[in-house]
Each structure stands twice: as C-alpha cells, then as structure tokens.
Amino acid sequence: MPSYKHLIFGALILGAISVSYPAAAPCAPVPDSVTLNQSGKQFKPFSFNHAKHIQLIRECSDCHHHTTGTLVLDPNCARCHQNSSATAVVSCKGCHSATPFSPETIAAKAAQKQSYHLDMMGLKGAMHHNCIGCHSKRGAGPVGCQDCHPRSKQGDAFYSAARKGAKPAHAKEH
C-alpha cells in the first residue's frame, strides 16, 4: 500500500479544514453606529457615530482600552498586561457593569476579594469619563450633558427645569 497516498490525502483534508475554520479572523462586523443610553429615563437614547470615530481616531485601544487594538500602552498597566491578548467582548459593557452598586454586584465583588480591579467604574461613569475625557483633551466633541443625549420631558421635570431663572437658591440660606 503506497503510504504517500494517505499522506497527501490527509494533508489535503487538513488544508481544507484549516481554510474553512480561520484562526484569527474577527467574529462580528464592526458597527457603524451604536444606540447608547437605551434605557435612559431622564435623557433620551441616542445614536453614537462609531464609523466617524474610527475614521478620526484610527487606534482602537484609545477608546477600547485593554480589549482590542494596540494593547497596553500605559506603563502602569504593562506591569501585568504586557503579554495580554485581545478579548472576546470589546464593547464597554463587557467589563463595566450597568448596575455597579446593585446588591448582586456588590456581593459578587465581595466574593472575589483577591481580584485586582475591584475599583472598576460602572458603565455610565466609564462612558462619561472615556468620551468626555477625550473630547476635553482634544478640545473637540460634545462635552455638555445635552450635547450628546437630549433630555426627555421626564428629565426636564426631574431637573425642575421650569424653575430656571427663578431667584437663585443661594439667596438667604444661613
């Protein structure tokens, strides 16, 4: 029995397999826009122009720190994450909890006291810091509350917006 035939056949099959299951191709397509603040009550949900930001910034890790792009630029992080690889989930909510102070989250944190990044911001705080932080530094991009997400009617009532222009609250409180 010529073993060469088996060898070539096996190699062909292996080649076919390797072509059909690519090792390092992206799982999901990069979205052009993302709807943020979907469950917002005081402020309306809004559409975030992802494509524009990719065009402007290029470097993914500028926003998606630790998860994709050129990883670990910060020397403080490099101490541990020098050789880390990209993560499966790249979006913010993959690491930053939407309910950072719920009893469940707090209990979960208490259960893993050894974890290093216990002091991790929740989703709302992380997004505000990340987005507004960059916009302030670059001097371009929205920084005001309503510049990104306009307020809903409920929000106007929440902030007592109708009272704006009335006498300032600092008058005569001792």
Partner 1 sequence: MKRRNFLKACLIGGATITLGKTNKGWASGSFEGYPDAMGVLVDTTRCIGCRSCEAACNKEQGLPEPDTSFDDKSVFEEPRRPTAKAYTVVNEYEKKAPGGPVYRKMQCNHCNEPACLTSCFVNAYTKTKEGAVIYNSKVCVGCRNCMIACPFNVPGYDYESVTNPIVKKCILCYDTRLKVGRPPACVDICPQEALTFGHRADLIKMAHERIRATPDRYYDHVYGEKEVGGTSWLYLARTDFEKVGFDTTLNNEPIISNVKEFLGMVPMVLSIWPALFSGIHLLSKKEQHDEEGHDTESTQEDR
Residues of the shown chain interacting with partner 1 in the complex, contacts defined by CB under 8 A: 42, 76, 100-103, 106, 109-110, 118-119, 121-122, 124-126, 128-129, 145, 158-171, 173-174
Phi, psi of 42 (to 5 degrees): -80, -30
Q: Which is nearer to partner 1, 26 or 133 (CB)?
A: 133
**Nearest by Cα to 38 from 105, 92, 115:** 92
- To partner 1, the closest distance from the beta carbon of 52 in angstroms equals 23
Burial class (CB in 10 A: 0-12, 13-18, 19+), 67: buried
- To partner 1, the closest distance from the beta carbon of 35 in angstroms equals 18
- To partner 1, the closest distance from the beta carbon of 103 in angstroms equals 3
- To partner 1, the closest distance from the beta carbon of 97 in angstroms equals 11
Q: Which is nearer to partner 1, 38 or 160 (CB)?
A: 160
Q: Which is nearer to partner 1, 53 or 109 (CB)?
A: 109
Q: Are the C-beta atoms of 97 and 122 separated by less than 8 Å?
A: yes
Q: Which is nearer to partner 1, 69 or 122 (CB)?
A: 122
Own/partner pairs, 124-131, CB within 8 angstroms, 24+ separation: 124/98, 125/96, 125/100, 126/92, 126/96, 127/36, 127/92, 127/96, 130/63, 130/92
